[in-house]
Amino acid sequence: MDTVWVLGDQLNRAFSGFAGARPETHRVLLVHAADLIGHPGRHRQRTHLVVTAMHRFARELAAGGFQVDEREAPSLAAGLADHRRRFRPGRVVAMEPSSRPALRMLRRNGVDTVRSNQFLCHYEDFAAWAAGRRRLRNEDFYRWQRRRLGYLMDGDEPAGGRWNYDAENRRPPPAGERPWPQRRRFPLDALDRRVLAALPADAPGAGPAGWWPTSRGQALERLDEFVEGVLPHFGPWQDAMLGDDWHLAHSLLSPALNLGLLLPAEVCDAAERAFRTGRVPIESAEGFVRQVIGWREYVWGLYWLWGEEYEGRNELEADLGLPAAFRGAATRMACVAAAAAGVEARGYAHHIQRLMVFGNLALLAGVRPAEMVRWMRDSFVDGADWVMVPNVIGMALHADGGMMATKPYAAGGGYIDRMSDSCRRCSFDPRQRTGPEGCPFTVLYWDFLDRHRERLAANPRMVLQVRNLDRIAADLPAIRSRAAEIRRALPDGGI
């Protein structure tokens, strides 16, 4: 018999590792590796989610007639060696994994890999698309995907007449009632409790509260709930932040997608159907499909295209440790406290908190990119190498010098004040750029422009921002001195 080895983020029978596999000819291997489960700094809910979802997938396979070897081992490689000793399979086959370390491990251990169908655009096809282009713009890639895959197309034209409705999707938080519904939770069962009991006692983060689907059935329920109740409101408030509403109209589907519990094609099909039957407007359907076939696949393609060297980039020579507030240390910064509380409670923060609170503060203060990648990969339930490396190195920290984003996403407290309700609860003042009450984002924003003035002035998209430094020249000595105090304090807390 041959073996299909299923890794923890490949939990779907439709994946290519199962091509041609039948219960009579193939056994399935799943390894629970102690070095991954006990990985220092990994959020409790992330580990719980992966391990529980693997167990449930193993049960589904067994119910479908497969012999499943689900085993615990010190490492993935040790688990494979134990499996080979016990069953002596003819071949061990696995779908290409989603990260370079996992690919190296499979190759080192003589596993045959088959081309991944986990994404709609394989990374070799992405590389072919990228070849010869001067800039790899997400918008160009997204339109190429739309045409190629046919989502929201009327013949050769985009449905609704426009490719992109992003400009309508940046509204500040609604003042009154919120149009999106609450989300359902999935009650924990005996398996959840058994998995939790076996996790390291010192794993960071709160235990799960049933927000994250751990089976395909639950993931499909989450998808249905999203399409029917939330998708009609998806879009306008994607960039808003509210202290008492952690999910707003976000889909919450990324953890299930990243584990394979949902497939990118089926979530886009569901959005397309909802649009074609008049249940959601084009702005919402387009915004969601863009996230899935555009940004998500773009990030995946770049991860493979730019290779290992990209992970080590630090073009702005950032040298600060991670702010202690990110890991839950007390802070006066209300926006950071709210986002960090969400990470502690659920292993989650929505994309604008990731980019404009965590990422922005790390960019402005000069946090070491590799440290930020590690923290984000370990702290979020949807964290993965391929997600975090381009998003942190390229998008949030501009550590690649502009390979991915044409300008740094740097903003002072005024942006957060406009897009959230945090500033009115904060003891800092987003308009002040000096003094002890000055918002750290605002102080650090001007200090960032000042420290990198020469480099940024050469960027046409930053010229105006840099020119504003002349307008506030008299304040610069006080800004520099306060920024130095803030930067010193951030890694240890106390700000």
Please tell me the distance from the alpha carbon of residue 108 to that of residue 445, in angstroms, as a whole number: 46
Alpha helices in 347-391 (DSSP H): 351-353, 360-365, 369-379, 385-388
Rank residues 255 and 438 by Cβ distance to ligand SF4 and give the closer one: 438
Smallest distance, ligand SF4 to C-beta of residue 423, A: 3
Q: Which residue has the tokens 């006990």?
A: 38
Rank residues 299 and 337 by Cβ distance to ligand SF4 and give the closer one: 337
**Sheet of 92-95, strand order:** 67-73, 26-33, 2-5, 92-95, 112-114
Q: Which residue has the tokens 């904060």?
A: 426
Smallest distance, ligand SF4 to C-beta of residue 357, A: 7
Segment interacting with ligand SF4 (CB under 6 A) among 58-66, 201-209, 340-348, 424-432: 424-432
Segment interacting with ligand SF4 (CB under 6 A) among 110-118, 267-275, 285-293, 328-336: 328-336
Segment interacting with ligand SF4 (CB under 6 A) among 281-289, 318-326, 383-391, 421-429: 421-429
Rounded (5°) CA angle 14-75-28: 30
Q: Does 349 bind ligand SF4 (CB under 6 A)?
A: no
Please tell me the distance from the alpha carbon of residue 139 to that of residue 166, in angstroms, as a whole number: 11
Structure tokens belonging to residue 170:
């940046």
Residues that bind ligand SF4 (rule: CB under 6 A) add up to a total of 14
Smallest distance, ligand SF4 to C-beta of residue 98, A: 34
Smallest distance, ligand SF4 to C-beta of residue 353, A: 11
Please tell me the distance from the alpha carbon of residue 326 to that of residue 166, in angstroms, as a whole number: 29
Distance of CA 398 to the CA centre of its chain: 17
Q: What is the DSSP letter of 402?
A: S
Smallest distance, ligand SF4 to C-beta of residue 418, A: 10
Q: Which residue has the tokens 């985009």?
A: 158
Write the DSSP string, 10-53: ---TTSGGGTT--TTTEEEEEEEEHHHHT-TT--HHHHHHHHHH
x-or-dash string of contact with ligand SF4, 173-212, rule CB under 6 A: ----------------------------------------
Smallest distance, ligand SF4 to C-beta of residue 337, A: 8
Rank residues 205 and 430 by Cβ distance to ligand SF4 and give the closer one: 430
Among 89, 287, 347, 413, binds ligand SF4 (CB under 6 A): 413
Segment interacting with ligand SF4 (CB under 6 A) among 92-100, 330-338, 342-350, 481-489: 330-338
Rank residues 61 and 357 by Cβ distance to ligand SF4 and give the closer one: 357
CB count in 10 Å sphere of residue 483: 26
Smallest distance, ligand SF4 to C-beta of residue 252, A: 24
Q: Which of 49, 48, 16, 50 is nearest to 31 (CA)?
A: 50
Amino acid at 256: A
Among 231, 302, 334, 388, binds ligand SF4 (CB under 6 A): 334
Smallest distance, ligand SF4 to C-beta of residue 323, A: 12
Smallest distance, ligand SF4 to C-beta of residue 65, A: 55
DSSP β-ladder status, 2-5 and 26-33: parallel
Smallest distance, ligand SF4 to C-beta of residue 464, A: 22
Q: Which parts of 261-300 interact with ligand SF4 (CB under 6 A)?
A: none
* Length in residues, the chain: 495
Query: CA–CA distance from 197 to each of 47, 52, 206, 210, 381 (Å)?
Result: 12, 12, 13, 16, 18
Rank residues 256 and 439 by Cβ distance to ligand SF4 and give the closer one: 439
Rank residues 334 and 388 by Cβ distance to ligand SF4 and give the closer one: 334
Rank residues 270 and 439 by Cβ distance to ligand SF4 and give the closer one: 439
Rank residues 33 and 411 by Cβ distance to ligand SF4 and give the closer one: 411
Q: Which parts of 425-464 interact with ligand SF4 (CB under 6 A)?
A: 426, 428, 430, 439-441
Three-state SS at 194 = helix
DSSP β-ladder status, 2-5 and 157-158: unpaired
Please tell me the distance from the alpha carbon of residue 322 to that of residue 91, in angstroms, as a whole number: 44
Smallest distance, ligand SF4 to C-beta of residue 333, A: 4
Among 254, 291, 422, 465, binds ligand SF4 (CB under 6 A): 422
Distance of CA 450 to the CA centre of its chain: 30
Q: Does 335 bind ligand SF4 (CB under 6 A)?
A: yes
Please tell me the distance from the alpha carbon of residue 156 to that of residue 369, in angstroms, as a whole number: 41
Rank residues 330 and 458 by Cβ distance to ligand SF4 and give the closer one: 330
Rank residues 400 and 421 by Cβ distance to ligand SF4 and give the closer one: 421
Three-state SS at 3 = strand
337 in Cβ contact with 331 (< 8 Å): yes
Among 256, 389, 423, 456, binds ligand SF4 (CB under 6 A): 423
Can you give the binding site for ligand SF4, defined by CB under 6 A?
333-335, 413, 416-417, 422-423, 426, 428, 430, 439-441
